[in-house]
Amino acid sequence: MFDRSQQPRANIARVKRVAVVGSGGAGKTTFARDLSRRTGLPVVHLDHLYWKPGWVETPSDEWRIVQDERLTADEWIVDGNYSGTFDVRFRRVDTIIILAPSRWRCLSRVLRRTITNHGQSVQAPECPERIDVKFLLWVWRYQKNSRPLLDFAIEQNAGASKVIELKTPGEVSQFFECLGP
């Protein structure tokens, strides 16, 4: 949970490599864009890199290489999960921001995004939004099935990185208020 006493204005000025993670529908992309606007750090959207046209997945060996190549810069915000490659990112970050709203909020956001943008490519080029039951189940079960993988990856790979968890829209707003305009 975000604690105002952490003085993010002073701390965020020193960040150079930030990972934004959380369930589908947690608000990672929006958060990463807002953080980029406030810090000037460029954003790397993993969904844009992972998904090939028609929702074709990048093979796992190629996926590690893609991330290695894209995260060689000194400064970035990386937006996305992909638990099989947390180690690639977490060994390089100085800050991990976990967005952890309730599964109801995440699921409602995913459904709203899907309905609002049905047929449009929002997550990745040439990958039109559609109802994906497997993805909806992943969102619903995130806390039980995927969150332990995230916590383990942080424990194993994040070293001295700062970890900030934001659970509510109010905590996200408070975080950004402390950063300033």
pLDDT at position 133 over 90:
yes
Query: Per DSSP, what are the bridge partners of residue 162?
Result: 95
CA 14 from chain centre, in angstroms, equals 20
Residue in the structure block whose two tokens are 């109010």: 170
pLDDT at position 137 over 50:
yes
Q: Tell me the pLDDT of the chain averaged across its residues.
A: 89
Put residue 54 in one of left, alpha, beta given phi > 0 → left and psi -120 to 50 → alpha. left
Q: Which of 23-27, 124-128, 176-180 bottoms out in mean pLDDT, i.e. has the lowest?
A: 176-180
Total count of residues recorded for the chain: 181
| CATH at 126 | 3.40.50.300
pLDDT higher for 143 or 9? 143
With a pLDDT cut of 90, the percent of the chain lying above it is: 76
Strands (DSSP E) found in the chain: 17-22, 43-45, 51-52, 56-57, 76-79, 95-99, 162-166
Give the C-alpha separation, 164 to 175, whole Å: 10
Query: How does pLDDT run across 75-107, given as a tens digit for each residue?
Result: 999 999 999 999 999 999 999 999 999 999 999
pLDDT at position 56 over 50:
yes
Give the C-alpha separation, 95 to 161, whole Å: 5
Count of domains for the chain: 1
Single out the residue of 123, 38, 36 nearest to residue 82, CA to CA: 123
The pLDDT value given to residue 40: 92
Give the C-alpha separation, 178 to 6, whole Å: 10
The pLDDT value given to residue 2: 43
Full residue range of the structural domain in which residue 67 is found: 4-179
Residue type, 101: P
The pLDDT value given to residue 13: 54
